[in-house]
Amino acid sequence: MEMTQCPAARQEAFIQRHQGFDVEVNLHHGRLYHVVFDEAILSRFFEETTKVNAQHLEYVPHMRFMLASKLKELFGQQLQDVLRGILLDRNSGGFTLGVQNVASTPDDYVKFGTAVSHLIGPGNFDSMSGTYYARFLVKDTDKSDSYLRQAYRLFTLHTDGTFVDEATDWLLMMKFEERNAVGGESRILHLDDWQDLARFAEHPLASYKFIYKSPPSKNMAQMIQRRTFFKMNGKFCISFIDQFVQPETIEQAQYLHDLSDSMESAKNTATIPLPVGDLIMLNNLFWLHGRAPFQKNADLHRELMRQRGMFSEA
């Protein structure tokens, strides 16, 4: 699939060299930044955290913040300030970064992703995995009950956390492995780049509390009521996924259908490649994400980790 770039104006407010890391432009999206670490210092992160493994992080929540603290110790308070600043900046709200080939095991990827995410705030419980992160495989065949692992379908644009009652302020996706994969890139859309935002956000149903129910694989029996659009700092934010929202009338169904259709045809939706060992972190309140379909391949194998969570008080 050809990469589609978003023509949004290049954001430059955070571009700067810091002690131990540089903030650069993300070459695939004008709103995103790319952070590059000093490799020697990054290696020290892994050398000095060898005693921590993924199971330890699953069982002991404070260890997740201890990893974040190690990143701060190595790269300075500025790293936290910059990453938080980018995520909270309405004009951007996202960045990519990676392990830069200094690590390559799943345990190291979990540790690194956790350290980065916990500079921002605590990870939410992921009911699909039973812990604060989920690793999921996409392969040639799948019998699941949502589009998450169905390789050859377009995964429509949505936000995460619609059917949990915790706030889901941020989303992190990290690539662990990829073989025989063509296509399948992340598709992302910033709300302010969507031409129909006002039409749907100012609609009478924009603030209607729709019921959200998740399929059995999500292990969440509860029902949540959520308004689709809400304002934060005077700007529209969104909470939406077409698969789990339950309209009660034809009129409501039409609104949701038109909303999803409009997003899917938004010309500013961009596809972003994510190399193995890299992660993307987005503000989940004003970014939508989805996935392009993969090209058919019997040996397709791709594994991603996701984490979602809240902003902690600064």
Closest distance of CB 224 from Fe ion, Å:
16
Give how many residues touch Fe ion by CB under 5 A.
1
The distance of closest approach from Cβ of residue 151 to Fe ion in the complex, given in angstroms and rounded to an integer, is: 15
The upper half-sphere exposure of residue 193, i.e. CA atoms within 13 Å in the direction of its Cβ, equals 26
Measured from the CB of residue 251, what is the shortest distance to Fe ion in angstroms? Answer: 27
Among residues 78, 28, 71, the alpha carbon closest in space to that of 52 is found at 71
Of 160 and 193, CB closest to Fe ion: 160
CA neighbor of 274 nearest in space, from 10, 60, 94: 94
Got the DSSP string for 59-99?
H-HHHHHHHHHHHHHHH-HHHHHHHHHHHH-TT--EEEEE-
160 near Fe ion, judged by CB under 5 A: yes
Q: How far apart are CA 305 and CA 122, in angstroms?
A: 16
Output 163 or 236, the one with its CB closest to Fe ion. Answer: 163
* 58 neighbors 107 (Cβ within 8 angstroms): no
- Of all residues in the shown chain, the one whose CB is closest to Fe ion is 160
For Fe ion, the closer of residues 82 and 173 by Cβ is: 173
State the nearest-atom distance from the C-beta of 147 to Fe ion, in Å: 10
- Three-state DSSP state, 46: helix
**CB-based contacts of 124, cutoff 8 Å, min separation 6:** 132, 161, 164, 166, 168, 308, 309, 310
* Contact region with Fe ion (CB under 5 A), list: 154-162, 181-189, 193-201, 218-226: 154-162
Element at 251 (helix H, strand E): helix 250-264
Q: Is 185 in the site for Fe ion (CB under 5 A)?
A: no
Minimum distance from CB of 289 to Fe ion (Å)? 6
Span from 28-36, 52-60, 94-102, 155-163 in contact with Fe ion (CB under 5 A) = 155-163
DSSP SS3 for 6: strand
Residue 126 binding Fe ion, by CB under 5 A: no
- Residue 57 to residues 61, 90, 308: CA-CA distances in angstroms? 6, 31, 15
Give the separation between CA 21 and CA 79, rounded to whole angstroms.
8
Nearer to Fe ion, 160 or 169 (CB): 160
- Part in contact with Fe ion (CB under 5 A); list of ranges 56-64, 153-161, 184-192, 243-251: 153-161
Q: How far is the CB of 85 from Fe ion (least distance, A)?
A: 24
> At closest approach, how far in Å is the CB of 310 from Fe ion?
16
Q: Which part of the chain contacts Fe ion (CB under 5 A), choosing from 15-23, 66-74, 122-130, 157-165?
A: 157-165
**Positions that interact with Fe ion (CB under 5 A):** 160
